[in-house]
Amino acid sequence: MSEVESPAATAPLSTAPLSTYETSAAVIAGREAAFEARGLTKIYHMGEVDVQALRGIDLALYEGEFVVLLGPSGSGKSTLLNILGGLDIPTAGSVRYHHHDLTAAGESALTRYRREHVGFVFQFYNLIPSLTAEENVALVTEISTSPMRPDEALRLVGLGERLHHFPAQLSGGEQQRVAIARAVAKRPSVLLCDEPTGALDVRTGIVVLEAIERINRDLGTTTVVITHNASIADMADRVISLSDGRISGVKHNTTKKSPHELEW
């Protein structure tokens, strides 16, 4: 069961002064906003041509929330995710992660923000082929302040029996789960996933989504998953649809499906 809200339903919140917005957001959601974005605009200059990737996004994402960003290719999903993750900055507008103003931050502050708070998972796993699963995860834990042990992170994604395997000895889904373990081993408060099942078959994709769901549920990690697959939306707390650089819909799922119940 789900209930559909038009984007206009969120408009009074997003146009209110920040302090009022913070208060009402806390009351409405019963929890704190992790991210607040206002008027996010991104224009890429390609020679003579300007590509407008985001056209004024107003958005709040809440602590511990599982959000699916849904939309066709080219609708601005990756651009938005990269801005939330401090990999890119908007052309105009503002975005805040708690007290961090990501718009005003310089390169070194953004690097620190990413290192301390954000785990990324991409469509392609980017594992180092000459290192085992455990060593790939250890690359991150060695430079983190209070990480999990690599084997602990790998157990969390169901790979406790694959610690000493090299990437070439793992299936695509297992490699993606190593990448998820690597992203969460530093205990980030935010997990940003860009098409994490895009390269996987359905059955493998479900196992990967189960790993992401478990992290969101067990660690309370605020999780954003990009997909163009509408079925994955059923496992989210909230589905934000993008179309041509704008939010075209926001849907709250009153009941969430577990990944093995998804059909696509």
Of the candidates 236, 198, 264, 209, which has an alpha carbon nearest to the alpha carbon of residue 61? 236
Separation between Cα atoms, residue 228 and residue 143, nearest integer Å: 34
Single out the segment in contact with ligand ADP by CB under 6 A; choices: 76-84, 139-147, 155-163, 253-261. Answer: 76-84
Could you give the CA distance from residue 135 to residue 109 in angstroms, rounded to a whole number? 28
75 binds ligand ADP (CB under 6 A): yes
Select from 66-74, 101-109, 133-141, 178-186 the region that touches ligand ADP (CB under 6 A).
66-74
56-to-5, 40, 154 alpha-carbon distances in Å: 19, 5, 39
Q: Rule CB under 6 A: choose which of 79, 136, 216, 222 binds ligand ADP.
A: 79
Q: Which of 76, 85, 86, 147 binds ligand ADP (CB under 6 A)?
A: 76
Q: Is the Cβ–Cβ distance between 252 and 207 less than 8 Å? A: no
| Residue from 38, 58, 66, 71 binding ligand ADP (CB under 6 A) | 71
Q: What is the phi/psi pair of residue 62, to 5°? A: -100, 150
What is the nearest approach in angstroms of ligand ADP to the Cβ of residue 35?
17
> Among 27, 47, 48, 73, which residue interacts with ligand ADP (rule: CB under 6 A)?
73
Applying CB under 6 A, the span of 77-85, 136-144, 157-165, 207-215 interacting with ligand ADP comes to 77-85
Residue 74 binds ligand ADP, judged by CB under 6 A: yes
Residue 77 binds ligand ADP, judged by CB under 6 A: yes
CB 173 within 8 A of CB 204: yes
Helix boundaries (H) for the chain: 11-15, 18-29, 77-84, 107-117, 133-141, 150-156, 172-184, 202-219
Torsion region of 126: left, alpha or beta (phi above 0 gives left; psi -120 to 50 gives alpha): left
CB of 89 to ligand ADP, least distance (A): 12
For ligand ADP, which is the closer residue by CB, 178 or 193?
193
Q: Which whole-number Å values give the CA distances from 58 to 41, 78, 245, in the listed order?
A: 10, 16, 11
Residues contacting 4, CB < 8 A, separation 6+: 249, 251
Q: Closest distance between ligand ADP and the C-beta of residue 167, in Å? A: 26
Stretch that binds ligand ADP, among 21-29, 72-80, 120-128, 206-214 (CB under 6 A): 72-80
Residue 217 CB, nearest distance to ligand ADP (Å)? 26
Q: Can residue 85 be called a binding residue for ligand ADP (CB under 6 A)?
A: no
Q: Which of residues 4-63 bind ligand ADP (CB under 6 A)?
A: 44, 46, 51, 53
Residues that bind ligand ADP (CB under 6 A): 44, 46, 51, 53, 71, 73-79
